[in-house]
Amino acid sequence: MASSSHSSLVDFGNKHVTKGLARIVDGVIAQGEGSYLTIEDGRKLLDFSTGIGVTNLGHCHPKVSGAAAEQCMKLVHGQCSIAFHGPYLRLIEKLLPMMPHESLDSFFFWNSGSEAVEGAIKLARSVTGRQNIITMQGAYHGRTFGAMAVTRSKTIYSEGFHPLMPGVFTLPFPYWHQLGRAPDTPTAELSAFCLDQLALLLSQQSAPRDTAAIIIESVVGEGGYVPAPPEFLRGLREICDKHGILLIIDEVQSGFGRTGKNFAIEYSGVRPDIMLVAKGLANGFPLSGIISRKELTDQLKPGSMGGTYAGNAVACAAAVAVADVMKEERILDNVNTRSAELFTALNALRANPKLAPCILDVRGQGLMVAVEFASPVGTSPQDQFVNTSVPEKLASRVAKRCLDKGLLILTTSVYETIRFIPPLNISEADLAKGCKIFEEAVEEVVREG
């Protein structure tokens, strides 16, 4: 398509697509293949965003897309409240051996991560007979009404939409910057502080008998790609067991191999009462899941869960193929190998004397990794990590420079943070190419000041 036609399409989109949507690239995507996106104007971008952690196996993986195409000629829509359909049941069969705990044996498939959060809140309130939900500072769980109420990463998601769902309380998360501690503060110290704050919350704000659930991401996503320390998760499990509170583990972004294990919660050994999945589950086809144990879900009244497109047959067939590819192509092995290479490259940048003052942290698990830059202004005059000698808006400027050089990469959180979400099956060469572009972008932006 000619450049002028592409410009016309962009103009048309800017005129008629709701302003409530933001965009990183001012362009129209023509094709996705493996680790690359092609824009209608001819640009080819190495994609370190993967649709924000969705196309974990790269764009249009032939086995996944092939399974979906084949299913389209058999059954596109078999509504879940009418009858079972084969792909739904086969997907459960594939997922059962992958579960982080054998007690997770009851599945309901929906369309999006936000819907999964909504369903988990319904389930928790129903089976406990309690109202209140405790969420984490910096958490992101979605934009629908209940999910928006437990989201605490940025005000943009709820600004102007109050009053939100009542009964939500916020707990400090063991992330050094939010707590005003040094980046190298031991996670045990951060976790102990936050668990003490939870005890206070249950004494001062929401009594245990009124608290239905605690919801937490195994790795905080939109809040900055901060892994939840194992000792913190174990502490939450103990408190939940003591008071009959349900522990909801959100694996929407961190699940399906993203962190080097099937699910990030496996690093702690903690048992979820409810686990939420989406994004990489079907490699781009809309599908999410609420996974719990049968003794809880058997308490629900038939009809209390549902949805027109819930557990769509085509999406489920794609997800079955994803589970097969994860095993057949030894995806977890690739994630852990590439992760080591990524951390080596990013830590080398951090060790560069010319760049070190600008880089506060390199963190993450597997191929869910972040670089946090320093800022000359911070989030407030009290921000202890303000550095007036570094350039402004480093994260967004570096991301823009990467885009100019052919790498699509995203910022995240209220701090100056860039996140790396490359495909889990990315090659050594493509990862090295992306790291080189990032290095050049950082050096150029820092030099420009």
Checking if the pLDDT of 5 tops 90, the result is no
Alpha-carbon span 370 to 413, nearest angstrom: 10
pLDDT bucket at 4, cuts 50 / 70 / 90: low
Checking if the pLDDT of 2 tops 70, the result is no
Report the percent of the chain where pLDDT is more than 90. Answer: 97
Residues 6+ apart with CB under 8 A from 338: 367, 422, 426, 428, 431
299 part of a folded domain:
yes
Checking if the pLDDT of 366 tops 70, the result is yes
CB atoms within 10 A of CB 62: 13
pLDDT digits 0-9 by tens, 43-91: 999 999 999 999 999 999 999 999 999 999 999 999 999 999 999 999 9
Are 336 and 425 within one domain?
yes
Are 352 and 440 within one domain?
yes
Q: Where among 328, 352, 384 does a domain terminate?
A: 328
Q: Where among 301, 328, 355 does a domain terminate?
A: 328
Residue type, 280: G
The dihedral through the CA atoms of 331, 332, 337, 341 has a sign that is: positive
| Residue 47 belongs to domain with CATH number | 3.90.1150.10
How many structural domains are present in the chain? 2
Are 258 and 280 within one domain?
yes
Alpha-carbon span 304 to 313, nearest angstrom: 21
Whether the CB-CB separation of 265 and 249 falls below 8 Å is answered with yes
Are 117 and 207 within one domain?
yes
Cα-flanking dihedrals φ and ψ of residue 29, to 5°? Answer: -75, 125
Whether the CB-CB separation of 206 and 169 falls below 8 Å is answered with yes
Instruction: Count CA atoms closer than 13 A to 180's CA, side-chain side.
Output: 6
Are 25 and 55 within one domain?
yes
6-22 burial, b for 16+ CB within 10 Å, e for fewer? Answer: beeebeeeeeeeeeeee
pLDDT value of position 57: 98
**Domain that residue 431 falls in:** 3-60+330-448
Are 218 and 102 within one domain?
yes
Q: Where among 328, 350, 375 does a domain terminate?
A: 328
68 part of a folded domain:
no
Are 297 and 427 within one domain?
no
pLDDT digits 0-9 by tens, 403-443: 999 999 999 999 999 999 999 999 999 999 999 999 999 99
Alpha-carbon span 55 to 68, nearest angstrom: 14
pLDDT digits 0-9 by tens, 299-326: 999 999 999 999 999 999 999 999 999 9
DSSP H or E stretch at residue 332: helix 331-351
Mean predicted lDDT score pLDDT of the chain: 96
Residues 6+ apart with CB under 8 A from 281: 255, 256, 287, 288, 289, 319, 322
pLDDT digits 0-9 by tens, 107-163: 999 999 999 999 999 999 999 999 999 999 999 999 999 999 999 999 999 999 999
DSSP H or E stretch at residue 288: strand 288-292
pLDDT bucket at 6, cuts 50 / 70 / 90: confident
pLDDT digits 0-9 by tens, 14-38: 999 999 998 999 899 999 999 999 9
Are 290 and 406 within one domain?
no
Are 310 and 357 within one domain?
no
pLDDT value of position 231: 98
Are 207 and 278 within one domain?
yes
Alpha-carbon span 431 to 342, nearest angstrom: 7
Give the residue from 415, 379, 374, 413 showing the smallest Cα distance to 391: 374
